[in-house]
Amino acid sequence: MRLATIFHLGIKELRGLMRDPILLGLILYSFTVAVYAEARAIPQTLNNAPIAIVDEDGSPLSLRIADAFLRPYFKPPVTITADEMDTRMDAATDTFALDIPPHFQSDLIAGKSPVIQLNVDATRMTQAFSGSGYVQSIVAQEITGFAATQTISQIPRVDLALRARFNPELNQTWFGSVMNVINMVTMLSIILTGTALIREREHGTVEHLLVMPVTPLEIMLAKVWSMGLVVFVATGLSLVFMVEGLLQVPIEGSLGLFMAGAALDLLATTAMGIALATIAGSMPQFGLLLMLVLMPLQILSGATTPRESMPEAIQTIMLAAPNTHFITMAQAILYRGAGFATVWPQFLWLAAIAAVLFVFSLLGFRRSLR
């Protein structure tokens, strides 16, 4: 394998891309207009949301409130301590953390107005946007039911202090813009590498390459680095100029660490694009395969709906998808300011999946050339 050959073959791919106005327009649209439009989308559903209870009162009323969070809206509540609350929230373990203060029931009976604190992971917009309203309604309903069994002439007011973590304004723009950039990384890396290979096959240039002193590995590596580089640069520019610039979305973590993870994800998804192109015999067939692959990847990876809302079997199967780990890593870095010590498992998963997909794609590519 010669690095100079891989470099020049990659330059050839970039020149071919520059002569394709349709693909250039798709790249420009995906990282600009599509990001802006998705940032304005409004999340709607609440299903199977994880919630934790910090019960500092230990009274019948606090237990009643904890038992009121039922499926399908919430997972069974997990009882934690006050010290664990922020740690679990930082690790994206809980979407909601309800802190019931000491003497809550006795203060209520005495006619005081106690305050319950609700912490919300606002990066999970599909749950956080409507879930805080569900929590407030459930707490109010249980307090009303409890007061009806007590000798309380007038039900005192109970305030629920809402604290939205990582997105204090509950602004869907913060969520939609970043998630759409991440989705475009997966989509365009598969499309660009797949179309590059199919274009070679339809124009007959693959046969021309094979009579030259180049190997299938060199051809594949050239397509991977060139198309991956295009998406890599477009991702960085979109985050800086569209997300941070135009949409004014704050990036909490290291952009460099995120881009390192994006490079690993691109290695996996570009290899996936080549694998699909070797299976497809033509561009129409490749388009049909894209619909079968891209939609499950984007819908079931946690980009739009948290994985906790999905069946256990789907969650397990999607662990084999590279963008599942890429999305988890991206949310931790860009929203929560996580460092490498927090996201190293996702880096490890991405490296392993990328290696497997690359080998699988290379074997398929070699077989298609026989």
Q: Pseudo-torsion of CA 301, 304, 307, 310, nearest 10°?
A: -100
- pLDDT over 90 at 38, yes or no: no
Same-domain pairing of 80 and 190: no
Q: Are residues 355 and 262 in the same domain?
A: yes
Measure the N-to-C terminal CA separation of the chain; round to a whole number of Å.
20
Distance in angstroms (rounded) separating the CA atoms of residues 78 and 164: 19
283 and 235 in a common domain = yes
Question: Per the domain annotation, does 35 fall within a domain?
Answer: no
Asked if the structure places residue 153 within a domain, the reply is yes
The two three-digit tokens of residue 255, written as one number: 């952009």
Q: Is the same domain home to 321 and 184?
A: yes
Are residues 180 and 125 both part of a single domain? no
Statement: residue 42 has pLDDT above 60: no
Whether 145 and 263 map to the same domain: the answer is no
Bridge-based pairing state of the strands 96-100 and 78-79: unpaired
CATH number, position 119: 3.40.1710.10
Mean pLDDT over the full length of the chain: 84
Q: Are 326 and 348 in contact (CB under 8 A)?
A: no
**Residue at which a domain ends, from 165, 199, 228:** 165
Helix, coil or strand: residue 291:
helix
> Is the pTM higher than 0.85?
no
Residues 200, 267 within the same domain: yes
Domain total for the chain?
Answer: 2
Considering the chain, what percentage of its residues have pLDDT values greater than 90?
A: 18
d(CA 243, CA 257): 17
Greater model confidence, 92 or 168: 92
Instruction: Answer with the one of 149, 165, 181 that is the final residue of a domain.
Output: 165
The arithmetic mean of pLDDT across residues 38-50, rounded, is 68
Per the structure, the complete domain to which residue 23 belongs is given by 3-30+172-368
Bond prior to 72 in cis (omega within 30° of 0):
yes
Reported as a single tens digit per residue, the pLDDT across 224-259 is: 999 999 999 999 999 999 888 888 888 888 899 999
Evaluate whether residue 36 is within a structural domain. Answer: no
Structure confidence at residue 290 (pLDDT): 87
CA distances from 227 to 208, 214, 220, 246, 264 (A): 21, 19, 11, 26, 14
Whether residue 139 is found in the same domain as residue 246:
no
Q: Which percentage of the chain shows pLDDT scores above 70?
A: 91
Verify that 280 and 194 share a domain, yes or no.
yes
Distance, in Å, from the CA atom of 363 to the CA atom of 266, rounded to the nearest integer, reads 19
Residues 276 and 358 in one domain: yes
- 122 lies in some domain: yes
Q: Which residue is associated with the tokens 């067939």?
A: 285
Structure tokens at 319: 């662990």
Signed CA dihedral, 322, 325, 328, 333: sign only: negative
Residues 240 and 354 in one domain: yes
Tell me the per-residue pLDDT of 94-132, one tens digit each, with 9 for 90 and over. 889 999 889 888 888 887 878 888 888 877 766 777 788
Tell me: do 10 and 93 sit in the same domain: no
* pLDDT tens-digit series, residues 190-234: 999 988 888 877 777 766 666 677 888 888 898 899 999 999 999
Q: Which of 131, 165, 199 is at the close of a domain?
A: 165
